[in-house]
Amino acid sequence: MKIPILAMVLIATLPAFGQFIEFSFPSPSPYISGLAYNGDLFALDSLSRVLYKMNENNGTVLDTISIPDTPNPPVGLTAYGDTLWFAESGTGIVHKIDIEGNELAVYDLSDSGPQSITGLAHFLLSEHMFIMDASSTTLYVVETPIGLSPVEVFLVIEDCPEVHDISAELDYSYYVAVACEDSVSPVRLYYDSTSYESLIIGEFESAVGVASWDWCRFYFTDPSMGMIHRYCCNMGGGITPSTGTNGNTLTTLANPSSGTLEFSLNLAEGVSPVLTLMDISGRLIEEIPEGYFSTGTHSVRFEGLPPGVYFCVAARNGLRARGVIVESR
């Protein structure tokens, strides 16, 4: 199994000043053990054993969906297309259901490694599913349909007292969001086993459920406050440079409100990249096939952009890496 790993321009490290809670709304239950998003926001109630289907913007409960009765409380939640998946607490058992709550399949993965699953996550537009095992703080990955491919160790989560739900993103790069029982850093973005970013700025003691909503946006539960928050990593332009294994970095320069976005490529080796600008929905805005860039720093501008949020992608040799997210006003 191969997970795409970055080749040239690596994941951006987001600054604290750009992180904030976009909005919050009351949780439908104090016993939410998982969140998932597929156009609607779903919350899993481990006590009542139901799914709450909610409006993504104000938390209004649109429907209450009963799920199959299980010997152990349901935990973790992920959405993939028109299916939802959850696990049984303290076991390696995973259930696949449709959006009406009807059971489609049951998988026992305990012989493959996971012994106490607390979180599940699907890569967007990918057949890979992540499985968080709390007993060993190990993150596993498997291709779906489950049973046709082996369950493999992806990384080990370090320094998290207790791991809960997870969420994941895969486009040109990957990261995994982990709800961690840690008052200092209750939600984290992991890029590998030792490198993570804390996503919470504020007084939050813990997070139990987490779901990706958009690129570097997340819903997470805050049981201490009885709330669900939508969190934004960075919407204000400018990032801290991120250095990859080959020394190449992509960063933004000061971006005025005139609709001009400027990027700086700091190259440890000469390359011939293609720079692509997309809006937050993934729609192509502009593509610049560049010639050979020598070692050193180079600046590239995108001009005349309407107000909106954009991210830049750099490509080389068929492998792509999502870079930064910036805002034009």
Which of 23-27, 132-136, 138-142, 231-235 shows the lowest mean pLDDT across its residues?
231-235
Is pLDDT of 194 > 70? no
Task: Find out whether the peptide bond into 145 is cis, omega within 30 degrees of 0.
Answer: yes
> How much is the pTM?
0.68
Which residue from 160, 159, 202, 197 is spatially nearest to 176, judged by alpha carbons? 197
- Count the Cβ atoms, other than its own, within 10 Å of residue 126: 17
Averaged pLDDT for residues 49-59 = 93
Averaged pLDDT for residues 69-80 = 94
Cα angle 118, 119, 120 (rounded to 5 degrees) comes to 140
pLDDT of residue 236: 35
pLDDT: is 18 or 297 the higher one?
Answer: 297
The domain limits of the chain are: 20-232, 242-328
Which two tokens mark 236? 């204000």
Is pLDDT of 114 > 50? yes
Is pLDDT of 247 > 70? no
Handedness of CA 46, 48, 53, 55 (dihedral sign): negative
Which two tokens mark 110? 């305990």
Which of 141-150, 244-253, 267-276 is modeled with the greatest confidence?
Answer: 141-150
Which residue from 189, 155, 149 is spatially nearest to 19, judged by alpha carbons? 189
Category of 285 on φ-ψ map: left (φ > 0), alpha (ψ -120 to 50) or beta:
alpha
Between strands 296-302 and 308-316, the pairing is unpaired
Which residue from 5, 9, 4, 11 is spatially nearest to 290, judged by alpha carbons? 9
**φ, ψ at 18 (rounded to 5°):** -95, 0
Residue 9: pLDDT band by 50, 70, 90 thresholds?
Answer: very low
pLDDT of residue 149: 85
The CATH number of domain 242-328 is 1.20.140.150 = no
The separation between CA 323 and the C-alpha centre of its own chain, rounded to angstroms, equals 15
Is pLDDT of 62 > 90? yes
Averaged pLDDT for residues 266-291 = 66
Q: What distance in Å separates the CA atoms of residue 325 and residue 322, rounded to the nearest whole number?
A: 9
Is pLDDT of 260 > 90? no
Q: Which fold, 20-232?
A: Neuraminidase (2.120.10)
% of the chain beyond a pLDDT of 90? 32
